[in-house]
Structure 1
Amino acid sequence: MKTITKRSGCPVSFSLDFLGDKWTLLILRDMVLSDKNSYGDFLASNERIATNILADRLNTLEQYGFIIKRVSPEKKNKFLFSLTEKGIELVPILMELTIWGSKYNPPGNEKLLKALADDKVGTILKLQQKLRNAIP
């Protein structure tokens, strides 16, 4: 598991300690936008995360309270991951990254981008409520 060492009192530095890794952000993206919640779901993402990195990032996210892990009710040897309130509060940041990225790179999710353009706050609130409803 990645150990987080506080380098300074700067809020940007503190945030980057947790979110400065692309794999962490992509796992969070998949949880928020693609309803992925299992190890296999994350491995199936287009970016092809290595199994050791995925396990490490999931452990770090759980250790620092961004996600919770529970045993699947259907399959006892499978774990499911859900965002905590701390993780859900990252949705606006992910949406801002989505908007910024789509400005300079061809968009991938035009439906989401249109919803954000039409009503960014409402779209973010709907995503957050959907995720809150999924907390076990």
Structure 2
Amino acid sequence: MESAPRSGCPINQAVEVLGDPWAMLVLRDIMFGDRRHFRELLAGSEEGIAPNILSSRLRRLSDAGLLTRQDARRGQRAAYSLTEAGVQTLPIMVALGSWGLAHRSGERRLRVRAELLRDGGQGLVARFMDDLRHVHLGAPRPDPHAPQAADELRSAYETALRE
């Protein structure tokens, strides 16, 4: 259950939901890694999130309205999806990635998506948000013939892995 915020300040309220590093990394892995199940998120965590922390963050993000959890039928795994509020965190991710590119060093393979989103501008970010809405919310793509931003990001990442 969501607790009352410390204040009515919108920055405070956003930080209370998104200010935890693990929460942002879970959202990142769902957005960019298309990891929708607990085991995928756990196994694919670059930072090595512990199972209890992952479980806690998935619950918190769901309680905060950024994720939904589709309960699994017997023999299936529960899947997590972004809500519209979750999709709208993408520009925050892009801003954080751009700041990290400018002020921190890191591995090429882990920087390539942030570079592509930074250099692609608002158009690429908007297309990626449309992709996320299609995948997570079932929304139709505004232009079904436009290249999918998710494919561009995936291709850039795979190319960086081969370099």
TM-score between both structures, scaled by the size of structure 1: 0.87
Alignment of 1:73-84 (within 5 A): 76-84=75-83
Separation of aligned partners in 2, 1:43 and 1:14: 27
- Cα 1:7/1:84, change in 2 over 3 Å: same
Separation of aligned partners in 1, 2:86 and 2:29: 12
**What is the one-letter code of the residue matched to 2:111?**
N
Higher-RCO chain (CA-CA 8 Å, sequence separation at least 6): 1
Separation of aligned partners in 2, 1:64 and 1:79: 18
What residue in structure 2 maps to residue 59 of structure 1? Answer: 59
Return 5+ residue gaps in structure 1 as ranges: none
**What is the one-letter code of the residue matched to 1:26?**
L
What residue in structure 2 maps to residue 88 of structure 1? Answer: 87
Equivalenced residue count is 133
Return 5+ residue gaps in structure 2 as ranges: 139-163
**What is the one-letter code of the residue matched to 1:85?**
E
Equivalent residues of 2:71, 2:78 under 8 A apart: yes
- Counterpart of 1:69 in 2: which secondary structure? strand
Query: Which aligned runs of 4 or more in structure 1 are off by greater than 3 angstroms?
Result: none
**What is the one-letter code of the residue matched to 1:59?**
R
Separation of aligned partners in 1, 2:19 and 2:114: 24
Separation of aligned partners in 1, 2:100 and 2:130: 24
What residue in structure 2 maps to residue 48 of structure 1? Answer: 48
- Counterpart of 1:110 in 2: which secondary structure? helix
Post-superposition offset of 1:90:
0.6
- Counterpart of 2:39 in 1: which secondary structure? helix
Root-mean-square deviation (Å): 1.9
Separation of aligned partners in 1, 2:125 and 2:4: 31
**Cα shift readout 1:69-126 (whole Å, capped 9, x = no counterpart):** 11458x7331111101010011000110011011122352325413421x31012111
What residue in structure 2 maps to residue 5 of structure 1? Answer: 4
Equivalent residues of 2:97, 2:114 under 8 A apart: no
Separation of aligned partners in 1, 2:58 and 2:113: 28
**Cα shift readout 1:5-43 (whole Å, capped 9, x = no counterpart):** 311121111111101100000001111111111101111
TM-score between both structures, scaled by the size of structure 2: 0.74
What residue in structure 1 maps to residue 20 of structure 2? Answer: 21
